[in-house]
Amino acid sequence: MATTSTLGSRRNAAQLRALAGVEREVRANDSSCRRKYLRDFRDAFRSYESVMDSPQLATRINEADIILVGDYHALPAAQRYAAMLLEQRAQVGDRPLVLGVESIFSRHQHVLDEWWRREISPEELQERIRFDSDWGYDWLPFYDLLVTARDHADAIYGLDCMPREDLRKIGARDRHAVEKIEEIRKIHPRAVIVI
């Protein structure tokens, strides 16, 4: 017959095995804690030097050659902010503007250019760049950003490449975007590039 202490140790061992199984499952489904790219990002932005007020931010934006907008893709306010920033920067009027977007593959540039020239409808643009299946976020806030850029900028460029689903390849996607930004700079040497 098993003693109380033997039953307790068996139960504890079973609980530990169950816990280990749960931990493995969590890591399999959410391994971001182990991804070097995300660790590097987290480590780089643990703190900040100071907070800028609105006039300081406006000055920095007006002096910048490239403006990197932090777009939390699932938050429509992020796209609205980018559109507002484009409008405000355009009002300065000293330099042309160009928008680069992660949400469109660079291989779909010809489709984006057709929309820019008003040769295709918004619905056809959405379908041909496979926005819903390849990107999956709300179309309207993103489309409003594109319209704002068409109204105020000289061009819009898609910056992304495959594979989107594999976070291990995000470094390659970043390098691809950098190459595209370099191309944009060569085509538009005086432009303020908003990414």
Give the global pTM: 0.76
Q: Using CB atoms within 10 Å of the CB of residue 155, give its burial: 0 to 12 exposed, 13 to 18 middle, 19+ buried.
A: buried
Residue 172's identity, in one-letter code, is A
pLDDT digits (tens, 9 = 90+) for 16-67: 666 565 555 545 544 544 567 677 777 887 887 888 999 999 999 999 999 9
Q: Given pLDDT bands bounded at 50, 70 and 90, which one contains residue 139?
A: very high
Instruction: Convert 58-82 into a string of H (helix), E (strand) and C (coil).
Output: HHHHHHCCEECCCCCCCCHHHHHHH
Going from N- to C-terminal start, the domains of the chain cover 4-34, 54-194
Is the CB of residue 9 less than 8 Å from the CB of residue 142? no
Maximal CA-CA distance, the chain: 88
